[in-house]
Structure 1
Amino acid sequence: MSTTWIWLTETEPMVNAYADFLTGFSARPNAQASLRISAGSHYAVWLNGQRVVASQYADYPDDKVMDEIDITPLLVPGHNHLAIQAWCQGESSFVYRKGPAALWFEVHVDGQVAARSGSATLCRRSPAYISGPVEKITPQLSFSFRYNMRAQDDWRSPGYQTGSDWHRAVALPYRPRLSLRPIARLLEEAPAASYMVAQGTYTEADADQPAGDRMQSAALSFLPLHAMTGLREAPAQIAPEGLTLRAAQPNVFAVVDMEKERAGLLTLDITVPQDCQLLVGFGEHLDDLRVRTSVGRRQFACVVHLKAGRNAFMHPFRRLAGRYLMVMAPTDTLTLHTLSLAETPYPVQPLPALKLPDHLDQRIRDVSIRTLLLCMHEHYEDCPWREQALYAMDSRLQMLSGYYVFKGGEFPRASLQLLAQGQKPNGLLEICAPAEGDITIPSFSLAFILAVQDYLAYTGDEDFVKDMLPVMENILAWFLRLINAEGLIVLPQEKGLWHFYEWQDGLHGYLGQQQQASTSIAAPIQALCVMALTAMADMSGQDIWRTHADILREGLNHFYDADAGAYRTYLTHDDTPLAAHYAELTQSLVMLAGACTPQVARMLREKMRAPDGQLIPTSLAYRFYKYEALLTDPSLLPHVIDDIRQVWGRMLRQGATSFWETERGAWDFDNAGSLCHGWSAIPVYFYAKYVLRIKEPQH
Structure 2
Amino acid sequence: MSIPATQAWRGQWIWSARSGVGAPAPDNPMNGALDPEYYDRRVLFRRSFELDEVPDEAPFRITADSRYVLYVNGVELSRGPVRHGQRELRYDHGDAAPVLRAGHNTVAVFARFYGGRTAWWLPTPTTFTLGGGSLVAELRVGQEWIATDDSWRYREATAWTPSRPLTTISPQIPEVFDARELDPQWASPEYDDGDWDAARVVASIHVGGIGRTRPPVDPYGAVLARPIPQLTAAPQDPETVSVTTVTSLAEPDLLEPAATRLTAALRETGENRTDPDAWHPGLTIPAGDHLLVVDFGKVVSGTVRFALTAEPGTTLIGALVETPKPAALASAQTFHYTARGRADAFEAHDPSGGRYLLLIGGAATLDDLAVVERLRPRPTGPYFACSDPLLNRVHATGLRTVDLTAHDAYIDCPTREQRAWTGDSVVHQSVDLVANPDWSLARWHPVLAARPRPDGLLPMVAAGDAADPGIVSIPDWSLHWMRSVHNLYRYTGDADLVGALLPTAENVLRWFTSFLGRDGLLHDVTGWVLVDWSPVPVSATSAALNALFARALADFAEMADWLGDSGRARWAWTLHTKLAQGFEVFWDEERWAYRDQMVDGVVQPSVSEHTTAAAVCAEIVPTERHVRLRTFLLNRSPMFTRSPVAAHGSDADGAPAAAAMFAAPIPDWDTAQLVVGAQPFFRYVVHDALALLGAADRLPDLCRDWGKLLDAGPTALRETWEGGSACHGWSATPSRDLLVYVLGITPAEPGYARVRIAPRLGDLEWARGAVPTPHGLLEVRVDDLSVLVDSPVPVDLSLREDQPSISLPPGRRMVPLT
Question: What is the TM-score with the length of structure 1 in the denominator?
Answer: 0.88
Query: Which residue identity is paired with 1:545?
Result: A
**SS of aligned partner of 1:631:** helix
Distance 1:224 1:632 in 2: 53
Residue in 2 that maps onto 1:520: 540
Mapping for residues 197-216 of structure 1, pairs under 5 Å: 197-204=242-249, 209-216=256-263
- Shift in Å, 1:626: 1.5
**SS of aligned partner of 1:43:** strand
Contact 2:309-2:342 within 8 A present in 1 as well: yes
Distance 1:215 1:225 in 2: 14
What's the CA shift string for 1:558-578, capped at 9, x where partnerless?
A: 222445543222211499xx9
Contact 1:89-1:143 within 8 A present in 2 as well: no
Distance 2:272 2:571 in 1: 72
Residue in 2 that maps onto 1:238: 280
- Choose 61-70 or 49-58, whichever is displaced more: 49-58
Residue in 2 that maps onto 1:670: none
Residue 659 (1) aligns with residue 699 (2): no
Residue in 1 that maps onto 2:757: none
Mapping for residues 463-542 of structure 1, pairs under 5 Å: 463-493=496-526, 497-506=527-536, 519-541=539-561, 542=566
Residue in 2 that maps onto 1:326: 358
Residue 401 (1) aligns with residue 461 (2): no
Query: Which residue identity is paired with 1:39?
Result: A
Residue 294 (1) aligns with residue 329 (2): yes
1:167/1:217 CA distance change after superposition, 3 Å: same
Residue in 1 that maps onto 2:47: 23
- Pick aligned residue for 1:458 from 477, 481, 491: 491
- Pick aligned residue for 1:196 from 241, 246, 251: 241
Residue in 2 that maps onto 1:77: 102
What's the CA shift string for 1:147-193, capped at 9, x where partnerless?
A: 11111113212232236563432414154211111111112123424
Distance 1:502 1:91 in 2: 30
**SS of aligned partner of 2:164:** coil
- Shift in Å, 1:39: 0.9
Residue in 1 that maps onto 2:452: 423
| Structure 1 residues not aligned, in runs of 5+ | 227-232, 510-518, 666-672
Residue in 1 that maps onto 2:166: 136
Residue in 1 that maps onto 2:662: none
Residue in 1 that maps onto 2:309: 271
Contact 1:266-1:341 within 8 A present in 2 as well: yes
- Pick aligned residue for 1:4 from 9, 12, 25: 12
Residue 698 (1) aligns with residue 773 (2): yes
Tell me how many residue pairs correspond in the alignment: 654
Mapping for residues 96-495 of structure 1, pairs under 5 Å: 96-99=121-124, 100=131, 101-113=133-145, 115-131=146-162, 133-136=163-166, 139=169, 141-153=171-183, 154-162=185-193, 166-173=197-204, 174-175=217-218, 176-204=221-249, 209-218=256-265, 219-221=267-269, 234-239=276-281, 242-246=282-286, 250-286=288-324, 288=325, 292-295=327-330, 298-308=331-341, 311-315=344-348, 317-329=349-361, 331=362, 333-420=363-450, 422-435=451-464, 436-437=467-468, 438-493=471-526
1:474/1:635 CA distance change after superposition, 3 Å: closer
Distance 1:684 1:525 in 2: 26
Distance 2:271 2:547 in 1: 58
- Shift in Å, 1:662: 0.7
1:311/1:377 CA distance change after superposition, 3 Å: same
Query: Which residue identity is paired with 1:33?
Result: A
Contact 2:321-2:332 within 8 A present in 1 as well: no
- Shift in Å, 1:130: 1.4
Query: Which residue identity is paired with 2:292?
Result: A
**SS of aligned partner of 1:398:** helix
What's the CA shift string for 1:315-338, capped at 9, x where partnerless?
A: 2x3111111101012x3x232222
Distance 1:370 1:127 in 2: 38
Distance 2:280 2:97 in 1: 34
1:334/1:225 CA distance change after superposition, 3 Å: farther
Distance 1:537 1:351 in 2: 34
**SS of aligned partner of 1:482:** coil
Contact 1:278-1:304 within 8 A present in 2 as well: yes
- Pick aligned residue for 1:581 from 606, 611, 614: 606
- Shift in Å, 1:141: 4.1
- Shift in Å, 1:371: 1.0
Distance 1:695 1:563 in 2: 35
- Shift in Å, 1:51: 2.1
Residue in 2 that maps onto 1:559: 586
Distance 2:169 2:154 in 1: 30
Distance 1:368 1:299 in 2: 23
What's the CA shift string for 1:341-365, capped at 9, x where partnerless?
A: 0112322223332421211111111
Distance 2:306 2:240 in 1: 14
Contact 1:661-1:679 within 8 A present in 2 as well: yes
| Structure 2 residues not aligned, in runs of 5+ | 1-8, 22-34, 125-130, 205-216, 640-673, 748-771, 775-818
- Shift in Å, 1:544: 1.9
1:582/1:245 CA distance change after superposition, 3 Å: same
Contact 1:10-1:171 within 8 A present in 2 as well: no
- Shift in Å, 1:104: 0.8
Residue in 2 that maps onto 1:688: 739
Distance 1:663 1:237 in 2: 32
What's the CA shift string for 1:49-92, capped at 9, x where partnerless?
A: 22224332122343211111111111121221111011111123
**SS of aligned partner of 2:383:** coil
Contact 2:626-2:693 within 8 A present in 1 as well: no
How high is the sequence identity, in percent, across the aligned residues?
Answer: 25
What's the CA shift string for 1:598-620, capped at 9, x where partnerless?
A: 44443333233330232111101
Distance 2:102 2:463 in 1: 41
- Pick aligned residue for 1:637 from 674, 697, 707: 697
Question: What is the TM-score with the length of structure 2 in the denominator?
Answer: 0.76
- Shift in Å, 1:198: 4.4
Contact 2:525-2:540 within 8 A present in 1 as well: yes
Distance 1:217 1:560 in 2: 55
- Shift in Å, 1:310: 5.5
- Choose 185-194 or 472-481, whichever is displaced more: 185-194
Distance 1:343 1:199 in 2: 28
- Shift in Å, 1:243: 0.8
**SS of aligned partner of 2:716:** coil
What's the CA shift string for 1:244-274, capped at 9, x where partnerless?
A: 1325xx2112111111111111101122335
1:215/1:125 CA distance change after superposition, 3 Å: same
1:150/1:574 CA distance change after superposition, 3 Å: farther
